[in-house]
Structure 1
């Protein structure tokens, strides 16, 4: 084999080896802003999802938590359901005709009719998994609900029985990734906000490996406190549009990468 060809072959083999090395940290990608939309800066965003073309948002803080249907163009709610003052709202997803909203330390999740936003019931977190103490983020992959609790563990849950069927530990190289927060299932991957981070983790749902990070630091508004973290991912599968925002951010972004 000629030396030049041999060198190319060695280089390709080395790059393939490195890319498949599970101990290597995942690469970081920049994103491009496609559109900007208004977002209510009083909304401490904890959950974001698109359902039938409508944006549904859940917010947090005691005495301030809400479940809303929000007009994308204006940022104003067409439906606004306040939660009782003792509830701290967290992540939101829609399974078939049911909205599911997590609570943080209240010990249960809340279900609503997706058409009327009428509250239909509650499910204790410990009945899902005896070690589940807090609700942070929630999404689904078309078969199972996926729930985060701030740890490196994601729980896959039967949406009919609300029983955990699998646990997945999330890692970036050899490092466990904790503070997993708001979740969204996007094109076969789990996207996760990481509390206090300006990056979104792209997670392989089979292995738990972070296969990439989306860098959103340039989108973070200036002058906000550390608590106004990046949080809120919504994927519109019908139109292939990805939306992101943060807690008390004045803007919701449509991005691509």
Structure 2
């Protein structure tokens, strides 16, 4: 019996370690050209309203657009010693992380008026909202789930592809029950099961990265367009935002028009 149990355990371990998340094909639906001076950190779309955060010390801002290819209709600049990071919209408020300051700024989503400043330990990279919790990345292989009211930690989740550790998790989006994550200095987007941290699919934007940039492969910025059932994606200093529709994972086309 012991030998049988050991054999069963080894088979289970081998199956887990052999797992590799599949590459997910996708279709490009649309694209928007814009200036290439956006160090995109967070990207959100709600109806016809777009929100974006852009980083770097002395150049960090939060902006709203009705057309991301045009000028912002309103913009908030951060202090020179604050580095803007991930951004998400939750319950009528915008939550904006800072990289190393341990602060999350809470803004009214209509006026961009600062409502509150919450605090956390460590670094802030990406941010998403699953309808209940704010989900934060910090450059490691972990996702941290926070209470939107006080940003207290609810749980921490390790991200794995079988036994492979995925670290450098960056900008986040929550769509169709999955966490979608950019990877720093990478062209790939991971689709992550928020219940167990398993990577269930990978979207690679390598063919969309501008070759003119010194670091062309850095994809960053994911926004779920519910109306068109796709993901708007872009990268650091990319002059284009693309609307893509992955095959499956909730993004099956349901109408004949986009």
CA contact (8 A) 1:228 1:248 kept: no
Pair 1:172–1:68, CA change in 2 (3 A): same
Residue from 141, 145, 160 that aligns with 1:152: 141
Report the Cα offset of residue 228 of structure 1: 6.6
Report the Cα offset of residue 180 of structure 1: 0.3
Structure 2 residue 128 is the aligned partner of structure 1 residue 139 = yes
**Which segments of 5 or more consecutive residues in structure 2 lack a partner in the other structure?**
1-10, 247-258
Match of 1:255, SS state, is: strand
Residue from 88, 101, 104 that aligns with 1:106: 101
Pair 1:152–1:173, CA change in 2 (3 A): same
Structure 2 residue 11 is the aligned partner of structure 1 residue 22 = no
Q: Which runs of 4+ in 1 moved over 3 A?
A: none
Cα-Cα RMSD: 1.8
Q: Which residue of 1 aligns with 2:37?
A: 42
Structure 2 residue 210 is the aligned partner of structure 1 residue 221 = yes
The 5 Å alignment of 1:171-186 reads 171-186=160-175
Residue from 110, 115, 125 that aligns with 1:115: 110
Structure-1 separation of matches of 2:68 and 2:151 = 35
- Number of aligned residues: 234
**Which segments of 5 or more consecutive residues in structure 1 lack a partner in the other structure?**
1-16, 127-132
Q: Which residue of 2 aligns with 1:161?
A: 150
Q: Which residue of 2 aligns with 1:88?
A: 83
Cα distance per residue 1:144-194 (max 9 Å; x no partner):
110000011101111123211111000111111100000000100000000
Pair 1:75–1:218, CA change in 2 (3 A): farther
Structure-2 separation of matches of 1:241 and 1:171 = 25
Report the Cα offset of residue 29 of structure 1: 2.1
TM-score normalised by structure 2 residue count? 0.86
Pair 1:228–1:123, CA change in 2 (3 A): farther
Q: Which residue of 1 aligns with 2:65?
A: 70
Report the Cα offset of residue 73 of structure 1: 5.8
